[in-house]
Structure 1
């Protein structure tokens, strides 16, 4: 198990070899790669929150988390925050968004944000699974991502931004939905660099989001942002989560 140390060197081994977070920062337990944790990293970084990470490298480490009762549904991501051991990506992100005022000012704004996030999550699910595509299916799956992005998802946000003429998706205030959309845009662009060519509003949105100070910092080299999944990451995922 690999621990990503911070300047405070905040992790100390206890007698039973578990790791104890002494810094008070959120602690993220996952693999050293994007996966389902990456959106959580994005949201914490956008909120300006520093965090520590523990990287699983073997199935034994994963099984120990389950045995010790850390994983309510026997799944990661696991985020330890405010005295809670949280699992389930959506619940974790909803808590972070609420805690750091990224979830709208009232129920109506929250409903819009949730609706947009759910839509983006559907697209992100395709991107998440793409590295695990069989070689003979990669071209077909990439075409599916392009079709969904350009015909179903990006047109929605292009229209929203054009209709209200504001910088952000909901209430002209930076929210969870904006962070999710920015992550999705960059993830699709990695595979399809010209995907925004027909979406001028999203091009402007991307530029503005890139200049939000916390996002700008997260996009710099050396940040906790993970690189695109490679063969080693896929191999590690299959090894840690093998049945």
Structure 2
């Protein structure tokens, strides 16, 4: 019997949350190993398992995969969430990269000074409204999914980012009915609906403990 995948990261969303989302959407049960102390983290770094000395890392199929995009691509390929041909895969990659750009704005917010956080909140909304959401909205015209006729990792990542943005700007989809419909339908997909319920491995918005842990383990 294949071993259960193990996701190595801090106890928080960060760059591992999209991996949790994709595993959940694929219906994959997985375990997590959290790093809370410098000693634990340094031991992992010194083990040589981290190709570039950083997490997340996913143990799966006898491999220790690092780099978020590479991990997502592996999961998507393994569980048929990467389109039906090379052209679809290219569009999926582009949509994932766009969602990743937005997600980077969200992730960096928690590490900014208080005086810069208000600017970042405005930047998130401005970029979403003017650059990214119009593209996704157009792609979803008359369709349930961004690419082809089935769920892909691009849909999962976009939903993750939309829900995260709504925690800062509850009305962020107000002018985008296609994205509203997409969110509603995608949240009803059984595996995703399960992941959205209390008690799942979905993490809460970053708090001071998470921020301080990341700073201590990675930046000190």
Taking structure 2 as the reference length, what is the TM-score of the superposition? Answer: 0.98
Name the SS of the counterpart of 1:80 in structure 2. strand
Q: Is the aligned partner of 1:26 residue 2:5?
A: yes
What is the rounded CA distance, in whole Å, between the counterparts of 2:133 and 2:160 in structure 1?
13
**Distance 1:35-1:147 versus aligned 2 partners, 3 A rule:** same
Name the SS of the counterpart of 1:132 in structure 2. coil
Partner of 1:200: 177
From 134, 145, 157, the counterpart of 1:168: 145
What is the rounded CA distance, in whole Å, between the counterparts of 1:92 and 1:195 in structure 2?
29
What is the rounded CA distance, in whole Å, between the counterparts of 1:231 and 1:185 in structure 2?
23
From 116, 135, 156, the counterpart of 1:156: 135
RMSD (Å), alpha carbons: 1.0
What is the rounded CA distance, in whole Å, between the counterparts of 1:149 and 1:47 in structure 2?
27
- The answer on whether the counterparts of 1:59 and 1:242 sit within 8 Å (CA) in structure 2 is no
Partner of 1:129: 108
Q: Following TM superposition, where does structure 1 have runs of at least 4 consecutive aligned residues deviating by more than 3 angstroms?
A: none
Aligned length: 220
Taking structure 1 as the reference length, what is the TM-score of the superposition? Answer: 0.89
1:1-243 correspondence runs (5 A): 24-162=3-141, 165-243=142-220
- In structure 2, stretches of 5+ residues that fail to align are none
- The answer on whether the counterparts of 1:160 and 1:169 sit within 8 Å (CA) in structure 2 is yes
- The answer on whether the counterparts of 2:9 and 2:16 sit within 8 Å (CA) in structure 1 is yes
Q: Deviations over 1:19-62 (max 9, x none)?
A: xxx97111011001000000000000000000000000011111
What displacement does 1:242 show?
2.9
What is the rounded CA distance, in whole Å, between the counterparts of 2:161 and 2:219 in structure 1?
28
What is the rounded CA distance, in whole Å, between the counterparts of 2:40 and 2:50 in structure 1?
12
What is the rounded CA distance, in whole Å, between the counterparts of 1:171 and 1:215 in structure 2?
19
